[in-house]
Structure 1
Amino acid sequence: MNILFLCLGTFIFLVTALDIIKTTLSTMGGGKLTNFITKRVWLIYFSASGKDGKSKLLSYAGPTILVSILLTWIIGLWSGLFLVLLSDADSIVNSQTKASASALEKLYYAGFTLSTLGIGDYIASNNTWRIVTGVAAFSGLAFITASITYFVPVLSAVGLQSKLSLYINSMGKSPQQILTNSWNGKSFSSFFDNTSDLCQMLMQHTMNHHSYPVIHYFHNSKPQHSIAPALVKLDETSKLLQHGIAGEEAINRLKLNMLQTTIDAFLDMVQGSFLRDTSTKEAAPTPNLLQLREGDMPLREQDETAQTFNTTLQERRKVLTALLEMDGWSWNDVYSS
């Protein structure tokens, strides 16, 4: 009995199994192994694309991450069981000749046991290894099935992400244009009529990030379809309403607070899970109120608004800038004309 192979194989099998359980059954994010692979694959794609959000190469990062995670889980379970079987020279025998299986034959046996094919040309040599085989077969059935079915809600969450970005971007190409499009001469009722739907989708999107962090790395190379510029645009719109508009009667404070609370929850999640470092290369621009003045809206003074955005909201906008940069975008994609 080779104790080293037995301990190492058991360790690899258990680490892989725990990572699968944490990733597929928990609502608190992926396992350490899954997170490590996810971030490394994304960094490879991000570097290869020149950190340009418009690069079509980044569109393949998400699917590649999913396939890489699945392959890692399969390889982890397979190699773990193989090492356990390899610890005993007589653990597996040929069903016809009763000769001890070679290392390659044990690798083959471990694979068809986990996949529950049950071919039968090789069998366990005694009751201990029969129990090990049974446990491995049930584990393979449970874990590999859970791994594959995990992809279904992930792709559904990616669909909601695309829906949310399209919803926001359809309201306007910039925060100023969103406000201009929703201004009816007295209030921004058109904007606030959509706030409930926006809050609901954004809350679901935030919860999906907790359950399926991998969706953060599903990228769309078109700025008008990408989620990061859309969410920054939505936050800037809400801040313009809060700090740029002077007429209280034009704003629905309840719905504005609901929207701000929902965005705050998303940014807290992003900072906790994805943005450990908020140092940025670009400075957030000062919103221009000229377009809003042309629409005869009740506005605060440009200097007062600029002071608020550049000082009071400075730290918040650093987080927004980091969110844009980690996905390959800039403020030009938020304040597009």
Structure 2
Amino acid sequence: MNMLYLFLGALIYILIAMDIIKTTFSSSGGGRITEMVSKAVWKIFFLVSGKNGKTKLLEYAGPSILTCTLLTWVLGLWAGLFLLLLSDPDSVVSSTTLSSASPLEKLYYAGFTLSTLGVGDYKASNDVWRIITSVTAFSGLAFITASLTYFVQVLSAVGLQSKLSLYINSMGKTPQQILANSWNGKDFSSFFDNVSDICQMLMQHTVNHHSFPVIHYFHNSQAQLSVAPAVVLLDEAYQLLEQAVSQDVKRSEVKMVMLQTALDSYLEMVKEGFLKNTSPQEDAPTPDLWQLEEKEVPLNKREEVELTFKQTLKDRRRLLSSLLEMDGWPWKEVYQS
């Protein structure tokens, strides 16, 4: 028996099996192999697209990552079982002649065992290999079923992501416009009427990110359906309301705290899982206040607002810049002309 093949086969099979279990059954993110595949495929698509979020090519990154992940799992399990069978020259025999199978025939046997086809022209030679064949066949069936269920959940989470983006953009195309549209002459009651729904969707999206990190790589070439510009748009609107609008204007403190918590949780999750480098190339612009002034919204002094956005919120807005850049979007998608 070849112990090297036996060890490598068992190691590969166990590592792939653990990655599938971690990815499909865990609520704390994907396995190490899945993460490596996801990041590698995204980098290829991102570089080929010229780091431009409007490129249609990026819309194929997410489905390609799922496809490559599935292929990695299938090929990994197949290779692991194949190496196990290679460790013993007589592990598989022909059903008719009882002669030992060749390496190519063992590769074929490993494939139809994992796919549970059960062709029957080759069979395990003894009880040990029969048990190994049965275990791998059952695990192949279980992993295929788990993978399909996982992919359905991922696509459902992607749908919520698009819904969240569209919901935020429907309130206004810029942070100033969101507040201007919500101003009724004395407060922003219509804005706070939507905060509960937004917070619920954003928190669910954050939870989905923890369970299905791959959704981060599902991209939409339309900015209003892309989640990164939408979250930045919402965060800037919140900061304008908190920092630029006079404290004399009545607010719902509970909903302000809810919104801040939802935004902070999302940004912290993205920072820990996806943004290793928070040194963006583009600086965040200082928001102008003319739309709010035209609506006669009571505002703090312009100099104080500019200082707050440039200094106090510097680190937070650098993180927002990195979030936009890693998805291929510039700040002009948030502060449109």
The TM-score, its normalising length taken from structure 1, stands at 0.99
Map of 2:309 onto structure 1: 309
Question: Aligned Cα RMSD in Å?
Answer: 0.7
Aligned to 1:69: 69
Write out per-residue CA displacement over residues 110-160 of structure 1, whole angstroms, 9 at most, x where no aligned residue: 011111111111000001101110111111111121112110000000000
Decide whether the 8 Å contact of 2:37 with 2:69 is kept in 1: yes
Determine if contact 2:249/2:298 at 8 Å carries over to the other structure. no
**Alpha-carbon distance in 2 for matches of 1:31, 1:225:** 28
Q: Which residue of structure 2 lines up, in the alignment, with residue 43 of structure 1? A: 43
Q: Give the Cα separation in 1 of the matches to 2:319 and 2:93.
A: 60
- Are the equivalent residues in 2 in contact too, given 1:241–1:251 (CA < 8 A)? no
Aligned position for 1:125: 125
- Offset of 1:247 from its aligned partner? 3.9
Alpha-carbon distance in 2 for matches of 1:290, 1:249: 18
Letter in 1 for 2:177: Q
Corresponding residue for residue 7 of structure 2: 7
CA contact (8 A) 2:286 2:310 kept: yes
C-alpha contact (below 8 Å) 1:86/1:106 kept by paired residues: yes
Distance in 1, matches of 2:295 and 2:144, equals 58
**What secondary structure sits across from 1:194 in the alignment?**
helix
Paired position in structure 1 for 2:145: 145
Cα displacement string for residues 154-192 of structure 1 (whole angstroms, at most 9, x for unaligned residues): 000000000000000011110000011111111100100
- Between the aligned partners of 1:4 and 1:158, the Cα distance in structure 2 is 43
Is the 1:93–1:123 contact (alpha carbons within 8 Å) kept by the matching residues of 2? yes
Q: How high is the sequence identity, in percent, across the aligned residues?
A: 64
Q: Letter of the aligned partner of 1:156 in structure 2? A: S
- Please give the alpha-carbon distance, in whole angstroms, between the structure 2 residues aligned to 1:286 and 1:23: 41
Distance in 2, Cα, partners of 1:248 & 1:229:
30
Q: AA paired with 1:101? A: A
Give the number of aligned pairs. Answer: 337
Give, in whole Å, the separation in 1 of the partners of 2:226 and 2:133.
47
Q: Which whole-Å CA distance do the structure 1 matches of 2:108 and 2:148 have between them?
A: 22
2:65 maps to amino acid: I
CA distance in 2, matches of 1:248, 1:111: 71
Question: What residue is the counterpart of 2:173 in the other structure?
Answer: 173
2:34 is matched with: 34
Q: CA deviation at 1:102?
A: 0.7
Cα distance in structure 1, aligned partners of 2:330 and 2:251: 29
Report the equivalent of 2:264: 264
Matched, 1:252 2:263: no
**Aligned residue number for residue 205 of structure 2:** 205
- Does residue 84 of the first structure (1) align with residue 66 of the second (2)? no
CA distance in 2, matches of 1:173, 1:71: 40
Structure 2 gaps, min length 5:
none
Which residue matches 2:240? 240
Using the size of structure 2 for normalisation, the TM-score is: 0.99
Q: Deviation at 1:248?
A: 3.4
